[in-house]
A and B are shown apart, each in its own frame.
Chain A
Amino acid sequence: MKLRSVPVTSPGTLRITVCMAASIAAGLTLGGLVFLLMGIPPVTAMVKMATGSFGSWYGFKETVTKAVPLTLIGAGLALCFRARVWNIGAEGQLLFGAVAATCVGLHLGPTFAGWSGILLMFAAGAAAGGAWAAVPALMRIRWGVNEAVSSLLLNYVAAEFVQYLIYGPLKGKTQFGFPYSDDLPSALWLPTFYGSRLSWFPLVLAVSAVVVLTLISNRTRFGYDVRVVGENPAAAMYAGIPLGRTVLSLMALSGILAGIAGSSEIAGLHHHLTYPWSISSGYGFTAILTAFLARLHPGWTWLSALLFGGLLVGGDIIQTSLGLPFATVNIFNGLVLVAILAGEYLISHRIIRLSPAGGPR
């Protein structure tokens, strides 16, 4: 017996839902084996993860806190990837946003206390993220440098730059020798929901980003151009769509959103510049998966961001409560992800069986 896969041209909603559910289930089963190997009943571990991230108000607020930057960045990346513009540098753009927001907060905070200062911080973060994203875009337009590679590498530049700042010029005098910048004036700290670390301002921004980007992608000429460029660059050329301008706009847009996410991490959570891996915990990379899981529809990124946020929070929970090493949680999350992404193939392909003679049954 032979198997052969046939492409499905336009999968229906039912097919998508069933395949998604099946691949998530398969991923959980696979991931469960990891817990089994560690001597922990998989169901217990997964129940703990689920209740920890979605089962209590406290956990859910933590999940949302993590889902906010993922949504912001993921929505921008979804639009980029639709045009096959591969921005892999959101992590660096987030960090640059955080740096700019911190600098503005530290310098202007005393004069612009309250919302005016916060808005200035976010504007600076957005601009810095956008500018950092424009670098690979311009390199592609001008010299044909592959933006996936250059934006990826610029992440490391950004991370090293942050390290340089916190050990050098921005090292705080009030931080007892820790490599942090000074704290922002408390008037610039984002107000949080009672008893959580979740601030409403970035939440509002994330929700608006989803709405606006959905609108852009479905209703505007720019959204149309993006779809044409993604389907076929030759057709885009024939249509007269300015390819360079589209690439630059998309990169800048997703960079701006990443910069906003970086600003909100500083203003809402850390209140000072810290290690690059503490500022972001890999949001720029996880957002790539967020965008793909949302099938590159900006309108669905909030849902996939919640799922990924839940995985991150649930992982933290069982790490502490079950005493598992961080690596176990990472492997579990990785397996779930691989299964979900493999499910994409099942959505777009139908598997048929061939009879021994060669004909289909």
Chain B
Amino acid sequence: MTSRTQRLEMRGISKRFGDIQANIGIDLSVSAGEVVGLLGENGAGKSTLMNILFGLHQPDAGTISIDGVPVSVTSPRAARDLGIGMVHQHFMLVSNHTVAEHLALALPDAPFWNPVRHARERIRAFEARYGFAIDPDAVVATLSAGEQQRVELLKALMTGAQWLVLDEPTSVLTPREADDLFALLRRMTDEGHGIIFISHKLDEVLALTSRVVVLRHGRPAGSCITHDTDQETLARLMIGRQIDRPRRKLMNPRDRVVFELSDLTATGHRGPATLENVNLQVHEGEILGIAGIAGNGQRELLETIAGLRPATTGTIRLDGVDLTALGTRARTAAGMAFVPEDRLQSGTIPAFSLTDNAILRDAHRAPFSTKGFLSTDRARERAQRLITEYEIAAPGPHAPIRTLSGGNIQKFLLGRELDAAPKLLLAAHPTYGVDIAAAALIHRVLLDRSEAGAAILLVSEDLDELLTISDRIGVMFRGKIRAVLPAARADRNRIGLLMGGAEPTPEERP
């Protein structure tokens, strides 16, 4: 590192996008050797603020200064030259390169000849200094999410970043990997780095940071010394009011199996056999949670059940009917609903109005179309009904759905899928990136539906969500359901270990 700086300061930052005031007068500072938490719900302005720091946006007002000297960060390149680095929530790794090749591409001082050897030497040096292990010759695609994240961190450090921004770094990690990350971050602060840690997980912020800045609706909602605060205070600052999160009530067990997978195997986008001999039963009125680190076959599991991906072997039965050979529409007609994980990629069409989105999966059938002609009135009625029923903040059924917030889109999507009272609901990350109030409503809806008898298969990376609302939790690892535990007796750490590949005990096996 060339020259050490002591303090990075953002003062009075404001930014407006069209009609939306994303940041209003926000102050944030970080000193060398310190971790500052930046807390807020989705849409509170955290990302905008960090994108300004990283040179992706220009502030309308306010200054950024380093050691009291105002600087202008006009591009990510300028940010890097100032020693500001960022590790994004979704890594952008060139995946079929080795670690050393990947880093050689990023190093500004890599020699023309044999840059990979140069990178390899630098990696070794950093390993010794920060005490972590990475094989420079491993292919990036074969690394776990935690390891990939370390490569991104390494990249930021090697390009000379003294100030690091970590955007929701634990969202893809197992609890164990998160602990490793925290140890690494502490080591980095000892080395004189200043870290801005973005999260909406209160326990992590409390464990890691020395100060917390809370944003709400683009404004500073408060800032405090971590030592003097607690989860309740932070949550109140973040949301602005108290919210009751619904919990699973213990109810009479129902024995009737509604949905059954036997020996289901399928291939996926990432190499062969992403789903291997999955056996699963969901009972009437039951919420079965599926835990697992991203990329262990959860997506493929739901897509295969929904009929978007062919099963190579095995059977899928809903209410006694074999659906294995049927198409998506036939499965929907048989009583299956699906909330996919990418709500703007496949779940809805951003440019379409709510009305048009309301019939995405039903345009081919009555009452939404008869004899090939659409009935726009029916579609509009459904959109209007969903808006009222799910408290969706929207200008009206005619508005393009992309103008809605993530939480409102998610409520709309869930409502649409539940509108035909399905026997089975497949839900992937239904509260991912959704504000707390919407998440609470979504949980309440899921619980109500299961009490009314629907079987729900809930895939989530949020262990708290799974523990709060499911009846049983299945753990997926490398395309298999390794274990199934009753949620009431499940232990966070045990699930974390199983997610990381620990051997299940005989009674944990499905």
A residues lining the B interface (CB < 8 Å): 9-10, 219-225, 227-228, 231-232, 234-235, 237-241, 354, 357-360
Given A10-B400, A221-B372, A359-B58: A240 touches B327 (CB 8 Å cut-off): yes
Is B60 touching A359 in the complex (CB atoms < 8 A)? Answer: yes
Q: Which of A9, A10, A224, A228 contacts B374 (CB 8 A)?
A: A224
Instruction: Please indicate the chain B residues that have their CB under 8 angstroms from the CB of A360 in the complex.
Output: 58, 60
User: For residues 311 through 369 of chain B, which have their beta carbon under 8 Å from a beta carbon of chain A?
Assistant: 327-329, 332, 338, 340, 342, 345-349, 351-352, 356, 359-361, 363-364, 369
Q: A235-B349, A238-B328, A240-B364 are in contact. Are A221 and B58 (CB under 8 A)?
A: no
In the complex, how many angstroms separate the beta carbon of B249 from the nearest chain A beta carbon? Answer: 32
Contact assessment for A234 and B351 in the assembled complex, using a CB-CB cutoff below 8 Å: no
Q: Which residue of chain A is the closest to B349 with respect to CB atoms?
A: A231
Listed residue (A225, A231, A241, A358) with the most chain B CB atoms within 10 angstroms of its CB: A358
8 pairs, A vs B, C-beta closer than 8 Å? A221-B364, A235-B345, A235-B347, A235-B348, A238-B360, A239-B360, A239-B361, A360-B60
**Chain B residues within 8 Å of A241, by CB:** 364
Residues of B within 8 A of A234 (CB): 342, 345-346
Residues of A within 8 A of B59 (CB): 359
A-facing residues in B349-403 (Cβ within 8 Å): 349, 351-352, 356, 359-361, 363-364, 369, 372-374, 400, 402
Interface status of B106 (Cβ within 8 A of chain A): no
- A10-B400, A225-B363 are known contacts; what are 7 more A-B pairs with Cβ within 8 Å? A235-B346, A238-B306, A238-B361, A239-B328, A240-B307, A240-B327, A358-B74
Q: Which residue of A lies closest to B369 (CB)?
A: A221
Query: Which residues of chain B are within 8 angstroms of A222 by Cβ–Cβ distance?
Result: 372
Contact status A240-B332, CB under 8 Å? yes
Q: Does B225 contact A (CB under 8 A)?
A: no
A238 touches B364 (CB 8 A): no
In the assembled complex, the CB of B24 is this many whole angstroms from the nearest CB of chain A, namely: 16
Give B359's nearest chain A residue, CB to CB.
A224
Is B308 an interface position by the 8 A CB rule? yes
A238 touches B308 (CB 8 A): yes
B72 within 8 A of A: yes
Which residues does chain A contribute within 8 Å of B307, judged by CB atoms?
Answer: 240
When chains A and B are docked, how far (Å) is the Cα of A237 from the Cα of B59?
A: 41
Beta-carbon contacts under 8 Å, B51-78 to A? 58-60, 72-74
Q: Are B58 and A231 in contact (CB under 8 A)?
A: no
By the criterion CB–CB under 8 Å, are B352 and A220 in contact? no
| Cβ–Cβ < 8 Å partners of A354 in chain B | 58
Chain B nearest Cβ from A173, distance in angstroms? 49
For the complex formed, measure the closest distance between the CB of A217 and the CB atoms of chain B, giving whole angstroms.
11
Q: Find chain B residues with CB under 8 A from A240 CB.
A: 307, 327-329, 332, 361, 364
The residue among B345, B364, B369 with the most chain A CB atoms within 10 A of its own CB is B364
Are B346 and A238 touching (Cβ within 8 A)? Answer: yes
Asked if A239 and B363 sit within 8 Å, CB to CB, the answer is yes
A239 cross-chain contacts in B, Cβ below 8 A: 328, 360-361, 363
> Whole-angstrom distance between the alpha carbons of A321 and B402 in the complex?
55
B-side contacts of A10, CB under 8 Å: 351, 400
Residues of chain A lying within 8 A (CB to CB) of residue B402: 9
How far apart are the CA atoms of A228 and B356 in the complex, in Å? 10
Size category of the binding interface on chain B: 35 or more
Cβ-closest chain A residue relative to B73: A358
Q: Which chain A residues lie closer than 8 Å to B352 at the CB level?
A: 227, 231
Complex: how many Å from CA A240 to CA B402?
Answer: 22
Closest residue on chain A to residue B16 by CB atoms = A360
> Shortest CB–CB separation between residue B224 and chain A, in angstroms?
31
Give the complex CA separation of A188 and B389 in angstroms. Answer: 64
Name the residue among B59, B60, B73, B74 with the largest chain A CB count within 10 angstroms.
B74
Q: Answer whether A237 and B328 are a contact pair too, CB < 8 Å, given A220-B374, A354-B58.
A: yes
Contact B345 A220 (CB under 8 A): no
Q: A10-B400, A231-B351, A232-B345 are in contact. Are A220 and B364 (CB under 8 A)?
A: no
Q: How far is the CA of A272 from the CA of B352 in the complex (A)?
A: 48
The 8 Å CB contact of B363, one of A221, A231, A237, A238, is A221
In the complex, the answer to whether A238 meets B347 with C-beta atoms within 8 Å is: yes
**Judging by beta carbons under 8 Å apart, are A228 and B360 in contact?**
yes
Which residues of the partner chain A approach B351 to less than 8 Å between Cβ atoms? Answer: 9-10, 231
| Given A231-B352, A359-B59, also A238-B338 (CB < 8 A) | yes
Shortest beta-carbon distance, A26 to chain B, in Å? Answer: 28
A221 touches B347 (CB 8 A): no
CB distance from A195 to the nearest CB of B (A): 43
Q: A231 to B347, alpha carbons, bound, how many Å?
A: 12
Chain B: minimal CB distance from A6 (Å): 10
Docked complex Cα distance between A177 and B357 (Å): 62
Q: Is the CB of B374 within 8 A of A221?
A: yes
| Contact A357 to B328, CB < 8 A, known contacts A224-B356, A224-B363, A239-B360 | no
Q: Which residue of A lies closest to B17 (CB)?
A: A6
Top 9 nearest A-B pairs by Cβ distance?
A: A240-B328, A358-B74, A240-B329, A234-B346, A238-B346, A359-B58, A221-B369, A235-B346, A231-B349
Q: Whole-angstrom distance between the alpha carbons of A360 and B364 in the complex?
A: 47
Question: Which of A225, A227, A240: most chain B Cβ within 10 A?
Answer: A240
Contact residues in A for B332 (Cβ distance below 8 Å): 240
CB distance from B113 to the nearest CB of A (A): 36
Interface centre among A9, A219, A222, A235 (most CB of B within 10 A): A235
Report the minimum CB–CB distance from A233 to chain B (whole Å).
9
Closest B residue, CB atoms, query A235: B346
Q: Is the CB of B374 within 8 A of A232?
A: no
B202 to chain A, nearest CB (A): 34
Residue of A nearest to B379 (CB): A224
A223 to B349, CA, bound (A): 15
Closest to A234 in B: B346
Cβ of B373 and Cβ of A221 under 8 Å apart? yes
Query: A224: nearest residue on chain B (CB-CB)?
Result: B363
A219 engages B360 (CB within 8 Å)? no
Given A221-B374, A224-B374, A228-B360, A357-B346 contact (CB < 8 Å): no
B372 x A220 contact (CB < 8 A): yes
Min CB–CB distance B81 → chain A (angstroms): 14
B-side contacts of A238, CB under 8 Å: 306, 308, 328, 338, 340, 346-347, 360-361
Q: Are B360 and A358 in contact (CB under 8 A)?
A: no
Measured between beta carbons, the chain B residues less than 8 angstroms from A221 are 363-364, 369, 372-374
Cβ–Cβ contact A219 & B361, under 8 A: no
B346 engages A237 (CB within 8 Å)? yes
A228 to B338, CA, bound (A): 18
A221, A223, A360 — most chain B CB neighbours (10 Å): A221
- For the complex, give the distance between the alpha carbons of A232 and B306 in Å: 18
In the complex the two chains form, what is the Cα distance from A220 to B363 in whole Å? 9
Residue ID in chain B nearest A223 by CB atoms: B374
Given known A219-B374, A231-B351, A238-B340, contact A358–B72 (CB-CB < 8 A) = yes
The smallest beta-carbon distance between A335 and chain B, in angstroms, is 32
Q: How far is the CA of A223 from the CA of B372 in the complex (A)?
A: 10
Residues of A near B356 (CB, < 8 A) are: 224, 227
Please indicate the chain B residues that have their CB under 8 angstroms from the CB of A220 in the complex. 369, 372-374
- Name the residue of chain B whose CB is nearest to the CB of A10: B400
Please name the residue on chain B nearest to A228 by beta carbon: B349
